[in-house]
């Protein structure tokens, strides 16, 4: 069975990402509907769930930061690197959410 979702590459070069950004800015729909500009839609709003996710993510990032060097005390080097990567992805997710809401 074929997956109907769009292809998502494992990696993107900076050049490819820049080109996608330029294309997205040019083709972004310009809404004149006041309800669309305020985030209104017929379906349920994601805002409460997104705000809850952001709150939990910030709390988790604070806990990781409080552990500091202790985070690696009982972990292998690979686990410490994975935790650092996880932290980075959480921070990028918060930045993306902020950009999406502005």
Residues contacting residue 54 through CB under 8 Å, at least 6 positions apart: 94, 97
User: How far is Cα 69 from Cα 64, in angstroms, rounded to an integer?
Assistant: 10
Counting residues of the chain whose pLDDT is more than 90, the rounded percentage is 31
pLDDT in tens, 40-87: 555 578 899 999 999 999 999 999 888 887 877 888 889 989 989 999
Q: Which one-letter DSSP state was computed for residue 39?
A: T
- The answer to whether the beta carbons of residues 57 and 27 sit under 8 Å apart is no
């Amino acid at each position: 069975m074929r997956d109907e979702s769009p292809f998502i590459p494992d990696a993107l070069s900076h050049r490819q990402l820049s080109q996608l950004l330029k294309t997205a800015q040019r083709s972004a729909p310009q809404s004149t509907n006041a309800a669309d500009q305020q985030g209104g839609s017929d379906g349920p709003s994601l805002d409460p769930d997104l705000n809850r996710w952001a709150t939990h993510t910030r709390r988790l990032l604070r806990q990781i930061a409080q552990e500091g060097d202790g985070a690696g005390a009982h972990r292998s080097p690979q686990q410490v690197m994975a935790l650092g990567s996880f932290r980075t992805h959480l921070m990028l997710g918060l930045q993306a959410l902020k950009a999406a809401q502005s």
